[in-house]
Amino acid sequence: MKLLLINNDGGGFADYIDVPSGTTVAQLFKQKMGDAVARDYLIRVNRQPCPPNQCLQDGDRISITPTKIEGARS
Amino acid sequence: MKHPQKQLWRTASRIYHCLVSQDYATQLKLPFEDWWHCDRLIRKRQQAQRRGWNLAALKLERELKTSLAQLIQQLTTLHGELSSDSPQQQISSVGEIYAELLAIEEEFGELQLDLRAQSISVITERIELEGVYLGPFEICLDYGNQNTDGTLHYRVIARDPNPAITNDSVTHPHVQSEVVCEGEGQTVIRRSLEQGRLFDFFTMVASLLRTYNSESPYVALSDWDSVECTECADVVTASEQTRCGNCEITLCSECAKDCADCDSPFCHECLSHCDSCHGGCCTSCLKQCVQCNADCCQRCLLENERCSDCDAEETEETEEELPETHASAANPVTATAVQPDCLGETVVSA
Q: Min CA distance, A22 vs chain B (Å)?
A: 24
Mean pLDDT of B235-241: 79
* Ranges of H-type helices in B84-181: 94-108
Whether residue B324 contacts residue B310, with contact meaning beta carbons closer than 8 Å, is answered with no
Question: What digits encode the pLDDT tens for the residues B101-129?
Answer: 999 999 998 899 998 899 999 999 999 99
- Cβ contact A12–B217 (<8 Å): no
- What amino acid occupies position B187? T
The ipTM (two decimal places) reads 0.89
Mean pLDDT of B17-21: 85
Rounded Cα distance, B76 and B90, in Å = 18
Going by pLDDT thresholds of 50, 70 and 90, the confidence category of residue A21 is very high
Q: What is the mean pLDDT of chain B?
A: 83
Mean pLDDT of A56-63: 94
CB pairs under 8 A between A and B: 116
Are residues B147 and B17 part of one domain? yes
Identify the three-state secondary structure at position B339: coil
Task: State whether residue B169 sits within 8 Å of chain A by CB.
Answer: no
Task: State whether residue B166 sits within 8 Å of chain A by CB.
Answer: no
Are residues B105 and B191 part of one domain? yes
Q: Min CA distance, B250 vs chain A (Å)?
A: 25
Among B17-21, B131-135, B286-290, the range with the most confident prediction by mean pLDDT is: B131-135
B350 or B271, higher pLDDT: B271
Mean pLDDT of B37-41: 93
Substitution target from A47, A60, A61, A62 for chain B, most B beta carbons within 10 A: A47
The domain spanning residue A12 has which CATH number? 3.10.20.30
- Cβ contact A12–B188 (<8 Å): yes
Task: State whether residue A63 sits within 8 Å of chain B by CB.
Answer: yes
Domain limits for position B124: 5-27+89-222
Render the burial of B197-232: b for 16+ CB within 10 Å, e for the rest.
bbbbbbbbbbbbbbbbbeebbbbbbebbebbbbbbe
Q: Which of B6, B210, B20, B201 is nearest to B120 (CA)?
A: B201
Substitution target from B88, B170, B184 for chain A, most A beta carbons within 10 A: B184
Please provide the DSSP assignment of B165-220 as one string: TTBTTEEETTEETTEE--GGGHHHHHHHHHHT-HHHHHHHHHHHHT---TTS-SS-
pLDDT, position B343: 52
Going by pLDDT thresholds of 50, 70 and 90, the confidence category of residue B88 is low
The domain spanning residue B203 has which CATH number? 3.10.110
Q: Which chain B residue shows the shortest CA-CA distance from A71?
A: B183
Are residues B211 and B97 part of one domain? yes
pLDDT, position B325: 55
pLDDT, position B336: 47
Among B8-22, B37-51, B279-293, the range with the most confident prediction by mean pLDDT is: B37-51
Q: Which of B57, B15, B14, B6 is nearest to B202 (CA)?
A: B15
CA B154 to chain centre: 24
Q: How many domains does chain B have?
A: 2
In a domain, B104, yes or no: yes
In a domain, B255, yes or no: yes
Question: What digits encode the pLDDT tens for the residues B137-150?
Answer: 999 999 887 766 66
Q: Which chain A residue shows the shortest CA-CA distance from B200?
A: A65
Residues 42-81, chain B: which have Cβ within 8 Å of A?
A: 66, 73, 76-77, 80-81
pLDDT exceeds 90 at position A45: yes
Rounded Cα distance, B214 and B59, in Å = 12
Q: How many domains does chain A have?
A: 1
In a domain, B203, yes or no: yes
pLDDT exceeds 80 at position A49: yes
Q: How many CA atoms lie within 13 A of B259 on its CB side?
A: 22
